[in-house]
Amino acid sequence: MDNIKVSICCVTYNHEKYLREALDGILMQKVNFEYEVIIGDDHSTDASQDIIRSYQDKFGKRMIAFLGDKNIGANDNYARVQSCSRGEYVVVLETDDKWTDQYKLQKQVDYLDAHPEAVAVAHRCQVIDQNSNRIDIVYPDCKNKKYTLRHFRKWIMPGQTTSIMYRNYHTRDIGVDKDFIYRCSELGPGDRSKIFSLLSVGEIHCLPDVLSEYRLVRHSGNSFSATNKLKYKDYADYWKCFVTFSEEKRLPKSFVDTAYAMYMEAMLASCFIQHDISMKEIKKVLKIHKNWVKIFGYILGHINRVMFNCVKGFFNGKEYL
């Protein structure tokens, strides 16, 4: 199949309960271009691989399936799938999430085609629970037309993983550092390292449309929300990776300061909450990066945002991610 416009990269592990909904959301798309579906199953122990096989006829040559005979882990599964992508644009679909608008792909492709300055475009999402019921939780996605480092520092995302379509940095040299993204993904959330790297090479724009549903499962299953047990010391190592990347690539000072602020925030949390980083280690970092006033300004801004959301959630009856 030639002239592929979009590569839809799907990763799945024990998602038999949701997999059909995710794949049907792709099949319902109305587009005027060619797309491919690359799906990697990480040796599921449920019926996921059987479901994928049953959909191969529906997709025909559009689908490439990796049905693993051993577990390689989420990060390597991502890398395997995305490294095979051939489209001009890429969108990732974790198969416990789903698309709800039949023009999702067309809207994002049209936007990127019309805005060459944008390296990615995102949209908003609805949060649902493990039974597909809508829940009154607000995903921290960007409400502005353009996503900036200011949003990143405040832990706001352009959109949820499957809502972001980006120019394919796997097959085209647009300046994105793939090694940085995968290296950081071994330590923490891969979406943040991807966004940071994309932002360093171009603009990220945001659509106000709600075109997908994000499934939040905190207490069971295999999602990041359910399996991640936060250790601030590990998170500090994660953000240190951003610091190293920013300095080695000689990114603008705003990126370096942002990386240090996130790094310092994790170190302080580790020191005062979990007590596994000492003040001596924190002082060492402050000596290296002398602009500590700005760094702590960023951190205080984040603390204020968290307090604001807690108060707002109390009065509105809403929870904020």
> How does pLDDT run across 225-250, given as a tens digit for each residue?
444 556 777 888 899 999 999 999 99
Question: Distance (Å, rounded) from C-alpha 137 to C-alpha 313?
Answer: 9
How far are the Cα atoms of 151, 222, 243 from residue 148, in angstroms, in the given order?
Answer: 5, 31, 18
Q: What is the DSSP letter of 30?
A: -
How far are the Cα atoms of 64, 129, 155, 288, 308 from residue 316, in angstroms, in the given order?
Answer: 45, 20, 21, 43, 12
21 residue type, one letter: E
Q: What does the DSSP assignment read for 100-131? A: --TTHHHHHHHHHHH-TTEEEEEEEEEEE-TT
How many other CB atoms sit within 10 Å of the CB of residue 227?
Answer: 12
Percent above pLDDT 70 for the chain = 83
55 residue type, one letter: Y
Mean pLDDT, all residues of the chain: 86
User: pLDDT grade, residue 190 (50/70/90)?
Assistant: confident
CA atoms within 13 A on the CB side of 317: 2
pLDDT at 206 over 80: yes
User: Could you tell me which residues come within 8 angstroms of residue 259 by beta carbon, excluding any fewer than 6 positions away?
Assistant: 196, 239, 242, 243, 245, 246
Which is more confidently placed, 74 or 7?
7
Structural contact between residues 141 and 158, judged by C-beta atoms closer than 8 angstroms = yes
Phi, psi dihedrals of residue 77, rounded to the nearest 5°: -65, -45
Q: With H, G, I as helix, E, B as strand and everything else as coil, classify residue 138.
A: strand
> How does pLDDT run across 153-188, given as a tens digit for each residue?
888 999 999 999 999 999 889 999 999 998 888 888
pTM of the predicted structure, to 2 decimals? 0.86
Q: What does the DSSP assignment read for 167-202? A: E-TTTS-SS--HHHHHHHHTTS-HHHHHHHHHHTTS
Structural contact between residues 168 and 7, judged by C-beta atoms closer than 8 angstroms = yes
How many other CB atoms sit within 10 Å of the CB of residue 281?
Answer: 13
Closest CA to 164 of 185, 138, 184, 190: 190
Q: What is the DSSP letter of 157?
A: B
